[in-house]
Structure 1
Amino acid sequence: MPTPKSVPYSDLISSLQSGGVAKVLFEEGTRRIYYNTNLWSEKDSENAVDSGNNVDGKDTSVKKKSRNSPPAWEFLTRKIDHDESYLLSLMRERGTSYGSSPQSALMSMRSMLITVLTLWIPLTPLMWILYRQLSAANSPAKKRRPGNLLVSFEDVEGVDSAKVELMEIVCCLQGAINYSKLGAKLPRGVLLVGPPGTGKTLLARAVAGEAGVPFFSVSASEFVELFVGRGAARIRDLFSVARKSAPSIIFIDELDAVGGKRGRSFNDERDQTLNQLLTEMDGFESDINVVVIAATNRPEALDPALCRPGRFSRKVYVGEPDEEGRKKILAIHLKGVPLEEDVTLICNLVSSVTQGFVGADLANIVNESALLAARRGAEKVSREDIMEAIERAKFGINERQTSATTISKELVKLFPWMPSLTNRNNSRKDPQPPLGYQTLS
């Protein structure tokens, strides 16, 4: 059937005031109003036909509409908000019959679809983020199997005193007989303190590789969460997983992010996380073989309760390597790098002019020299590339003239038998050093 004709709301009010409306129908859940006029109702009654058949003396008359009968409703309009009382009073005054009908299935599906599109689709990413934040699967603990850790104490040089201290942790984890006979207990925590780039994280990986136990690494900043209580919950999850894999090692990098002194700020979440860490490290369960290794370069910012004996009872200082340590570190980083000269000669040369450099600086020098050699299309790294990399590390990239002069003066004082490195047009074949130099080195 054809749809009703849409008219303004004022037409309905005018028809009601003139008494020309016969029926009114309100659709529930929408603002639609259907109505018929008196003329339409008379036409609808005229189109109705009675057809009856006498069956066994009984008259069965059925009222049917013709195929060309008009639709049930003539007009369609939309109501005005807060005008229902006036409309109802007007229909009662005029004696108009009115009623209501439930919303059609099509309109119900349409309204439901609009609700989903406008409400649930924007909320779905927020709900997923909230679920990820609150779920236990979002634990920061990352377990690394010992087979995947290719780092041992042989790969760590320049920090011999720290290696000796950490070797005892490895022996206790492996259950050495001489430690158990004397009643020595496994230290609960080891704090690695030192300047940035000295190899604290590398030492922790070496401990896990030597001990052959599960190794859980996490950054302290991952415990700082927006939601209250989530940092403490992540601490509990981390230690719970580590206890199930005991003996194991937990490595917390940049401990000062969560272990700062309490009461300095208004961040209660950070204090709750630190309290949970203190409880886990020295709580009621004291016989669990879980070692916590933490690294920081700001030990003065840590809470005193965290550094007391029983928690981080052993503090290992990882300082800057000396000249002999820098030689060993360079020898490790130069493995696999093709050089035009002897590796020992390059290590002696670089270590003598890099006072105060740590392992990260030396690794960067080796990488920069390889990049410089690749830039000029060489197949091997030359001494000039390494010297230029040292200049970049010491004085920056934009001060090459000043840095070249300074490096050359230092090299002339240390190695007077070498030609000046600033003269790039000299022969690439260097003279042999004196015999006494080889003996002293």
Structure 2
Amino acid sequence: MDNQVLSFSVSRPLHLHSARLLLTNNQIARSFTFQRHCTNVENLVESITGYDSRSWKQCAPKKGMLYFGPIKCVWAVLFALFVTLKTILQSKKKEPRNVSFDELVGVDATIKKIRHIIPILQGKSEAKKFGAELPDGLMLYGPQGTGKTTLVHALAREAGVSFFPISAHDMAKDDTGSIGIDTLFIEARAYSPSIVLIEDVDVIARKGRCESDPSLRQLDLEIESCNKDGSMVMVIVTPIKPETLDSASMRSCRFFKKVHMGLPDEDSRRKITGVHLNMVAREEDKEAICNLVASRTHGLVWDDIKSIAVDSKIFALSRGDDHVTMDDVLNALGMLNDSDD
């Protein structure tokens, strides 16, 4: 059987620096190399596949080619496709929600505290001119339902950077443990500048949790070192109360910039009601409806107000009307009060 030549390059999204495949023919081990054609993400596949990148860089046969039969050519191509597919499927990179700061209501003060991060992530010249540095991290804390996650999505969208959201609940359930966390940060550094959002970090970092937890120790280590190699990775955690975090286990968070997202005030509740009911309330009723909801919803969060708006629309539809009236809103408020009892 005639020998054939295989020589090809692998480009993004595989991101291989190089990869060595061992083939055996008549008990003789041979190897060939997939040559690199990528940016600075060569460590990504090493972490996902478990192959040592140092072994990838070993010399292949002369001129990077190996002569072998057509069947082995097919296996080589299948191997490359398998690694490519595995890399894509295990990627933690996501698209942020299609929301901007301008669309967020009642959080102007909070936006003002974090807006300066955008030009730093973007590497704008004015940020460099004034020596502005990326904070060690951001701790965005406050009650559930106040819009912390939505605000971070808007920040990623405004900055136009790669986004890596993950829930601490998933970390706690993830069988890969510290390996999964290591992979997450390797990919985030590879796509620098980027934002890593860790939601509900209280789940794994609350006081009383065992400090020997490998996932927690790996997370703390990655946060501390994520920007030391010249990368720009902004880590954002969203606990409910920062004092519930175990300072011994999460030493890296001690230097985070802390920003509070509190319950919406009356004016904010009035604005968000207008956003939800603007298209379905009659013009002459809008102001009265917004004032009513704002005055009756002290201590409630955005999700509660959204529920009131949804229930109001349902009551209107049940009457066969396309417009929400004051009575519909009162019925919706009554349902909310009944559910609290």
TM-score bucket (shorter structure): 0.5 to 0.7
Alignment pair present for 1:383 and 2:334: no
CA contact (8 A) 1:250 1:293 kept: yes
Using the alignment, how far apart are the partners of 1:278 and 1:244 within structure 2? 19
The structural deviation recorded for 1:301 is 2.3
For residues 138 and 305 of structure 1, the distance between their equivalents in structure 2, rounded to whole angstroms, comes to 35
Aligned match for 2:196, one of 245, 250, 264: 250
Asked if the contact 2:211–2:249 (Cα under 8 Å) also holds between the matched residues in 1, the reply is no
The corresponding residue for 2:295 is 352
Decide which of 141, 147, 165 is 2:113's aligned counterpart.
165
Residues 192 and 200 in structure 1, CA contact (< 8 A), matched pair in contact too: yes
Distance 1:243 1:311 in 2: 22
Equivalent residue in structure 1 for 2:92, among 141, 155, 158: 141
- Cα pair distance change 1:162/1:265, threshold 3 Å: closer
Q: CA 1:163–1:302 in structure 2 vs 1: closer, same or farther (change >3 Å)?
A: same
Query: What's 2:223 paired with?
Result: 281
Partner amino acid, structure 2, of 1:276: Q
Checking the alignment, whether the CA contact within 8 Å between 1:278 and 1:311 is kept in structure 2 is no
What secondary structure, in the 3-state scheme, does the structure 1 residue paired with 2:138 have?
A: strand
Match of 2:240 in 1: 297
**Unpaired segments ≥5 residues, structure 1:** 1-134, 400-441
Instruction: State the 1:299 CA deviation.
Output: 2.4
- Aligned partner of 2:66 in structure 1 is none
Say which SS state the counterpart of residue 249 (structure 1) adopts: strand
Show the counterpart of 2:10.
Answer: none
Aligned to 1:214: 162
Cα displacement (A) at 1:213? 1.2
What is the Cα deviation at residue 256 of structure 1? 1.0
Q: Confirm or deny: 8 A CA contact 1:249 1:292 kept in the other structure.
A: yes
Q: Distance in 1 between matches of 2:91 and 2:216?
A: 16
Q: Which amino acid aligns with 2:182?
A: R
Match of 2:271 among 328, 341, 345: 328
Question: For residues 197 and 150 of structure 2, what CA distance do their matches in structure 1 show?
Answer: 11
Q: TM-score, normalised by structure 2?
A: 0.68
CA RMSD of aligned residues (A): 2.6
CA distance in 2, matches of 1:284, 1:197: 29
Distance 1:307 1:275, change over 3 A: closer
CA deviation after TM superposition for structure 1 residue 157, in Å: 1.7
SS of aligned partner of 1:367: helix
**Higher relative contact order (Cα pairs below 8 Å, separated by 6+ residues):** 2
2:177 aligned counterpart, secondary structure: helix
**Matched residue, 2:305:** 362
In 2: Cα distance, 1:375 partner to 1:267 partner: 55
CA pair 233-311 structure 1, distance change in 2 beyond 3 A: farther
Equivalent in the alignment of 1:4: none
Q: Does structure 1 retain, via aligned residues, the 8 Å contact 2:161–2:193?
A: yes
Is the Cα contact below 8 Å between 1:306 and 1:312 reproduced in 2? no
Superposition pairs of residues 11-160 of structure 1, within 5 angstroms: 139=90, 141-144=92-95, 149-160=97-108
Distance in structure 2 (CA, Å) of the matches to 1:140 and 1:338? 44
Q: Partner letter of residue 382 of structure 1?
A: T
> Of the candidates 169, 188, 196, which is equivalent to residue 136 of structure 2?
188
TM-score of the superposition, structure 1-length normalised? 0.53
Amino acid at match of 1:283: S
Kindly name which structure, 1 or 2, has the bigger radius of gyration based on alpha carbons.
1
Contact 1:340–1:381 (CA under 8 A) maintained in structure 2: no
Report if the CA contact (8 A) 1:139-1:238 is conserved. Answer: no
Using a 3 Å threshold, how does the CA distance of structure 1 residues 154 and 226 change in structure 2: closer, same or farther? Answer: closer
Amino acid at match of 1:167: R
Q: Is the 8 A contact 2:220 2:251 kept in 1?
A: no
| Contact persistence 1:159–1:319 (CA under 8 A) | no
8 Å Cα contact 2:161-2:194 kept in structure 1: yes
> Is 1:366–1:386's contact at 8 Å kept on the other side of the alignment?
yes
Q: CA deviation at 1:254?
A: 0.7
Distance 1:354 1:208, change over 3 A: same
Structure-2 residue corresponding to 1:259: 205
Equivalent residues of 2:285, 2:326 under 8 A apart: no
Change (3 A) 1:284 1:252: closer
Mapped to 1, the partners of 2:227 and 2:115 lie a distance apart of 25
Query: What CA deviation, in whole Å up to 9, does each residue of 1:262-291 have, x standing for no partner?
Result: xx35695xx211111111111275232111
Contact 1:190–1:292, Cα closer than 8 Å, also in 2: yes
Q: Look up the SS of the partner of 1:218 in the other structure.
A: strand
SS of corresponding position for 1:377: coil
Rate the CA distance shift 1:307–1:277 in 2: closer, same or farther, 3 A.
closer
Aligned to 1:224: 172
Q: 1:190–1:316: 8 Å Cα contact kept in structure 2?
A: yes
Alignment size in residue pairs: 255
Residue type of the alignment partner of 1:220: A
Q: Say which SS state the counterpart of residue 252 (structure 1) adopts.
A: strand
Q: Which amino acid aligns with 1:385?
A: D
